[in-house]
Structure 1
Amino acid sequence: MSDLTPLSLPEPEGRAYLAWLTDTSAAALDAARTGADRLKTAAPGPAGDVLSAWNNIDIALGGVAARGELFSEVHPDPAVREQADAISQQARSLATQFGLDTELYAVFAGLDAADLDADSRRLLERVLRSFRRSGVATAEPTRARIKEIRDRLTVLGQQFAKTIREGTRAIRVRPEQMAGLPQDWIDAHPADEQGLVSITTDYPDALPFRTFAHDAAARRDLLVASLTVGYPDNVAVLHEIFALRAELAQLLGYATWPDYDAEVKMIGSGEAIATFIDKIADAADAPARRDVAVLLERLRRDHPEAERVESSDAAYYAEVHRREELDVDAQVVRTYFDFAKVRAGLLAVTGRLFGLSYTARTDVPVWHETVTAYDVSRTADGELVGRIYLDLHPREGKFKHAAQFTLVSGVAEVSLPEGALVCNLPTGLMEHGDVVTLFHEFGHLIHHVVGGHQRWAEFSGVATEWDFVEAPSQMLEEWAWDPAVLRSFATDVAGEPIPAALVARMRAAEDFGKGYFARTQMFYAALSYYLHVENPDDLVARTAELQARYSLFGYLPGTCMPAGFGHLDGYGSGYYTYMWSLVIAKDLFSAFNSHDLFDVSVSSRYRDTILAPGGTRDAADLVECFLGRPFSFDAYAAWLAR
């Protein structure tokens, strides 16, 4: 059994967290500074020893950044969230300082790599690349400006995220305007003393309302509210982010921010991003227009005067079409997906697939009463391999989307990988789309744990190229569609499992709209790319232009989607990565046995060749190792065309 123990979190009370965050972060940052000073002043040693010392610095800095980023988004106490933001700033500022330190760079540039093993040589190459991309070789005034820019970008990114996180909006509707929604959802939304019901822009409210509510005006009002989260406050923030990123890229010798950002991704260049966006948009055009025509025909039965399908009508009429023509009623489907059963099923499915066991830990502190903790062990030998936290329901001040956050990066013989899954799911019955989202995001957590046992922190967990990291999670979504898998946990109130025939119809119905979904995704990707290239004066006008070019649904007047588009900070110009990864995910899945998704000969090979190596190899090499050939566009193209 491993003698490593997971991180000991404090009790959830805010003052304890403040003290813990402050004290542990200060100690880690001091250790990082001391370690860097020692590297610069000590006599040159063997390359392996220098890399080990750098690894300790990386572990210390990474731990501070991870704690800051997680608790700034999830802790219920605003004071803790603010302190976590401050700590994250300190970690990033120190990392920037190290990256611009010419003396520190000289230590690594002078190392002899002859006696290093392959992983260590790769690490040295990555460290030297990071120094170069940090601007260490520029003149001193330029380095000073680079540090100023990076520190400011950290602050702006936090401000952007906070505005979104704390910017939930709501519409108020009369009870009769909830007609069409499931009864349990209606019961959970009682009218206030004025006889009105508040519907928020948080996912558990917004997605069902926009899908099922018959009232078109209310659906439109809610979508407008959702697309104005962060507006207008984040507009100026975005302009400054785009301008600073462009300046930073140019100071480092790149024409644009996308060129700088793409250099270390599979795609390779900014120009290739634009090419890929248009390639997917063109491939999706015919199926997209075919399905939008179906929506328009059904819309005109209710509204003969309609000239086009608005974005606020798309989800509703897609659901109508699936119910009336494809015999799939989402309100019937959701009766099979009780949250508690889904969570248990997710653990059972992924445990069987990857050879893992989960042990609930009700005896360890968590940051909120709704958070659950699990120790993760290898089923074969009982070896403890990590700990995970599931924070799956919305609350005030919490992160508004769905993502996996690192808490601890696993390093062999140093620390176990720990991570948190942060979502905003309902506590009762779930849409099947929510189930798919949960499987997807849990895929990141699995990658973090299974890949989190490297010697070097640089390669721990989800440390592959950024445009590959979504592929394993997108592939895991397939298990949320398999009839045999779903029957193992998807049961109605009487305990009857979901019928295989219904799942087959669900899958066929899911294919409806994938073309216009792909076009919409390319609209988002184009936003993230072109806004960084252009930083247009009129963000709203440019958004409308790009939506007209790529999406088949028109711009909603009065909205500003980028102001609430959180990926513009974390993903920068690289939102294309979701679709790039999906192309690879479809190819990866083609290697699995469609009649037995738990075929251990495939699943264990996938685990060991794709997930377990972390970032020790390039993503293209990982995929080729698993598939026995380079990845291709063929599986995705076939899926899109059918």
Structure 2
Amino acid sequence: MTDSNLSPLTLPESDAEAWVADRTDTELARAAELVATIKAGGHEGSALELWNDVNIALGNAFAVASLMSNVHPDEAVRNRAEAAEQAASKLLTEIGLDRELYEVLDAVDPQGLDDAGRRVLTLTLRDFRRAGVDQDDDVRARLKELSERQTEVGQEFSKNIRNSVLTISLDPGRLDGLPADYVEAHAPGDDGQVTITTEYPDYVPFMTFATDRDARAALLHEFRNRAWPENDGVLEELLTLRAEQARLLGYADWPSYDAEVKMIGKGSAIPEFIDRIADAAEAPGRRDVAVLLARLQQDHPDATAVDGRDGSFYAEVIRRENFDVDAQLVRTYFDFQKVRAGLLDVTGRLFGIEYVPVDVPVWHEDVATYDVLRDGERLGRIHLDLHPRPGKYSHAAQFDLVPGIRGRQLPQGVLVCNFSKQLMEHDHVVTLFHEFGHLVHHVLAGGHDWARFSGVATEWDFVEAPSQMLEEWAWDHDVLKTFATDASGAPIPAELVAKMRAANEFGKGYYARTQMFYAATSYYLHQRVPADLTALMVELQAKYDLFGYVPDTHFHTSFGHLHGYGSGYYTYMWSLVIAKDLFSAFDPDDMFDTTVAHRYRDRILAAGGSKDAADLVADFLGRPYHFDAFEAWLQRPPG
């Protein structure tokens, strides 16, 4: 192995709280010192190069603070990381409102820069103006207050979701339909009752397989009420703060401000996109809901509609009965250890990279660490933190640990998920491929000189597209047979995978409608900031979702994406439109074709944020992206 001259950041073996404090304090102090140097003038090197150093230091501080606040098992460390995140956000706000700094950077002559430098300068000056640097002193002071308070409130919103693990207690006899390993893992307590939590490894199998409809309803009720009522007021304050910030900056509302720097371009285009997808999904969605309802009525003749307690369960029944796909049989081919190893093998073959296990200090014994090599050279390091535990981020996401900068620091990323340690549902395998797409994007795009281009640095409504495209490899038999084997070692049969693919087509219309309900909730809560958040959420569900509202529930209080994505949850479907178009360049009969995969690696992933996303896609496809592949997929009947 030929090592690069750079060494990865090493985590501490003990006293993580002190390490987090030192790492973040040092980087923030360096950022502040560099800003002072830029403003003082007379320094060696260009102001823009020093500005790049500021952003490297800020990125280092934010990465450690965000990661450790979400994953570290010690609450004291999480709290210290949250404090660091607040300090980093405060400094970022101060820098963004620093008129003297802005004037120095605005005076940089773009003619003396190369194309990359001019792009960085243009985006930098735009960001300063969007921060409010050109506003009067009173407005800038209020913008600073708003930004700092948003950080605090956003952290509280996310923490409440992380800490809200609700439960139901059941007689063991009510676990009928669940896999044997699930039942075995849920032994009765001293009271003779079985406890089922709202954590995903408990919740997803229960809602998919449990035959007890009332028990499903009880668990769904708890799941939809996570972080209620505490997050209702927290979210209302967050929305109000964002609305005021947008108005002070001269925008009609937060979506108008937020969308300006995304592919979609303007806030008013968001509801147009939502309605376009909802209309396209109307017919296929209602077709499949009718199939669900007819099957539900065989068991419950009085049922008049399908709701959340029945959707996953009867979708599984349909797939089993109509498509001959038994998810409990399917999961016997997806042992977690084999899936993890297979994921690394598949993506290694696809992108021409290698993962070498390394034994280094981490924050929890469940974390597995690998160096990422290409042609013997270490590109970066990844950490896989894939199982649930108390206080940990409860969804699935990729977090930065170190942003990569060519010749200066190796990229490190962390995959944070919540999967079973035994058998996995295939849906979770797909999720793992998806999230790993972000991780490999972070590492492969870690070789830029400019911090602005490093990692997953494209417009926010494009970042999901590469990961959504990578999901396709989790549905291909030639790919799956390399790691999906049962207890005897027999690979998953091609006929079963073909049936799984056909069955997966069932429900895509109502899935798209549900996604548009989420997107509409994200948009309209920010666009209107209603007095009654629940009432607007119920109204939007009735308009967009093909499943009914669960009475006395409050989905919005645990909709964690309202913090990170703000008004832009539409981006998941926007990205899926592009992902389907990207995949059209690949040969579905040869998923390991490295010619196409390497072109994709180099022109989309490794490019990071060096170009606008639309230009990256055009570079890869040889044309602008369009809706054709997505609409064809959506309209195609299952089977």
Count of matched residue positions in the alignment of Structure 1 and Structure 2: 634
SS in 1 for 2:373: strand
**Equivalent in 167, 170, 173 of residue 173 of structure 1:** 170
**Equivalent in 380, 386, 389 of residue 392 of structure 1:** 386
Measure the CA separation in 2 of the matches of 1:608 and 1:29: 33
* 1:53 matched residue in structure 2: 50
**Equivalent in 451, 476, 489 of residue 495 of structure 1:** 489
Measure the CA separation in 2 of the matches of 1:174 and 1:493: 30
AA partner of residue 29 (structure 1)? L
Conserved? CA contact 2:469–2:579, under 8 Å = yes
* 1:596 matched residue in structure 2: 590
* 1:121 matched residue in structure 2: 118
Pair 1:451-2:445 in alignment: yes
Pair 1:194-2:191 in alignment: yes
Pair 1:354-2:351 in alignment: yes
Pair 1:319-2:321 in alignment: no
Pair 1:633-2:632 in alignment: no
Pair 1:217-2:219 in alignment: no
* 2:401 matched residue in structure 1: 407
Pair 1:86-2:83 in alignment: yes
How much does 1:145 deviate? 0.1
How much does 1:198 deviate? 0.7
Measure the CA separation in 1 of the matches of 2:194 and 2:43: 69
Conserved? CA contact 2:37–2:43, under 8 Å = no
AA partner of residue 93 (structure 2)? T
Map 1:95-134; keep pairs closer than 5 Å. Answer: 95-134=92-131
Map 1:529-548; keep pairs closer than 5 Å. Answer: 529-548=523-542
Measure the CA separation in 2 of the matches of 1:28 and 1:287: 52
**Equivalent in 547, 561, 569 of residue 555 of structure 2:** 561
How much does 1:638 deviate? 0.3
Conserved? CA contact 1:410–1:418, under 8 Å = yes
Conserved? CA contact 1:68–1:84, under 8 Å = yes
Conserved? CA contact 2:231–2:557, under 8 Å = yes
Runs of at least 5 residues in structure 1 that lack an aligned partner in the other structure = none
Map 1:11-22; keep pairs closer than 5 Å. Answer: 11=13, 13=14, 16-22=15-21
* 2:36 matched residue in structure 1: 37
Pair 1:307-2:304 in alignment: yes
SS in 2 for 1:287: helix
How much does 1:52 deviate? 1.2
* 1:365 matched residue in structure 2: 361
Conserved? CA contact 2:404–2:412, under 8 Å = yes
Post-superposition Cα deviations, 1:457-491, rounded to whole Å, max 9, x if no partner, equal: 11101000000000000000000000000000000
AA partner of residue 443 (structure 1)? G
Post-superposition Cα deviations, 1:375-426, rounded to whole Å, max 9, x if no partner, equal: 0000xx2010000000000001100000000000000111011000000000
**Equivalent in 269, 273, 279 of residue 282 of structure 1:** 279
Post-superposition Cα deviations, 1:484-517, rounded to whole Å, max 9, x if no partner, equal: 0000000000000000010000000000000000
* 2:431 matched residue in structure 1: 437
Pair 1:469-2:463 in alignment: yes
AA partner of residue 31 (structure 2)? A
Measure the CA separation in 1 of the matches of 2:441 and 2:30: 29
Measure the CA separation in 2 of the matches of 1:515 and 1:173: 34
Measure the CA separation in 2 of the matches of 1:398 and 1:554: 31
How much does 1:44 deviate? 7.5
* 2:611 matched residue in structure 1: 617
AA partner of residue 114 (structure 2)? D
Pair 1:460-2:462 in alignment: no
Map 1:264-283; keep pairs closer than 5 Å. Answer: 264-283=261-280
SS in 1 for 2:111: coil
How much does 1:45 deviate? 7.0
**Equivalent in 55, 68, 71 of residue 71 of structure 1:** 68
Post-superposition Cα deviations, 1:148-175, rounded to whole Å, max 9, x if no partner, equal: 0000000000000000001111111111
Measure the CA separation in 2 of the matches of 1:325 and 1:41: 72
SS in 2 for 1:401: coil
AA partner of residue 206 (structure 1)? Y
Measure the CA separation in 1 of the matches of 2:33 and 2:525: 40
Pair 1:148-2:145 in alignment: yes
Measure the CA separation in 2 of the matches of 1:615 and 1:632: 21
Measure the CA separation in 2 of the matches of 1:167 and 1:280: 33
**Equivalent in 337, 340, 343 of residue 340 of structure 2:** 343
Measure the CA separation in 1 of the matches of 2:256 and 2:111: 32
* 2:519 matched residue in structure 1: 525
* 1:293 matched residue in structure 2: 290
Measure the CA separation in 2 of the matches of 1:533 and 1:365: 45
Post-superposition Cα deviations, 1:44-93, rounded to whole Å, max 9, x if no partner, equal: 776xx211111111111111111010000000000000000000100110
Pair 1:27-2:21 in alignment: no
Measure the CA separation in 2 of the matches of 1:484 and 1:150: 49
Measure the CA separation in 1 of the matches of 2:112 and 2:230: 54
Pair 1:552-2:528 in alignment: no
Conserved? CA contact 1:227–1:560, under 8 Å = yes
How much does 1:144 deviate? 0.2
Measure the CA separation in 2 of the matches of 1:316 and 1:293: 15
AA partner of residue 101 (structure 1)? D
SS in 1 for 2:400: strand
SS in 2 for 1:114: helix
* 1:478 matched residue in structure 2: 472
Map 1:367-382; keep pairs closer than 5 Å. Answer: 367-378=363-374, 381-382=375-376
Conserved? CA contact 2:397–2:415, under 8 Å = yes
Conserved? CA contact 1:44–1:107, under 8 Å = no
* 1:333 matched residue in structure 2: 330
Measure the CA separation in 2 of the matches of 1:553 and 1:599: 40
Conserved? CA contact 1:406–1:419, under 8 Å = yes
How much does 1:43 deviate? 3.0
Counting aligned pairs with the same residue, the percent is 60
Measure the CA separation in 2 of the matches of 1:450 and 1:62: 17
Measure the CA separation in 2 of the matches of 1:596 and 1:298: 37
CA RMSD of aligned residues (A): 0.8
* 1:261 matched residue in structure 2: 258
AA partner of residue 439 (structure 1)? F
Post-superposition Cα deviations, 1:82-134, rounded to whole Å, max 9, x if no partner, equal: 00000010011000000000100000111111020000000000110110000
AA partner of residue 31 (structure 1)? R
AA partner of residue 454 (structure 1)? H
4+ long deviations beyond 2 Å: 43-46
Conserved? CA contact 2:48–2:108, under 8 Å = no
Runs of at least 5 residues in structure 2 that lack an aligned partner in the other structure = none
Measure the CA separation in 1 of the matches of 2:358 and 2:48: 36
Conserved? CA contact 1:210–1:316, under 8 Å = yes
How much does 1:23 deviate? 1.4
Conserved? CA contact 1:71–1:80, under 8 Å = yes
SS in 2 for 1:199: strand
AA partner of residue 335 (structure 1)? T
AA partner of residue 377 (structure 1)? L
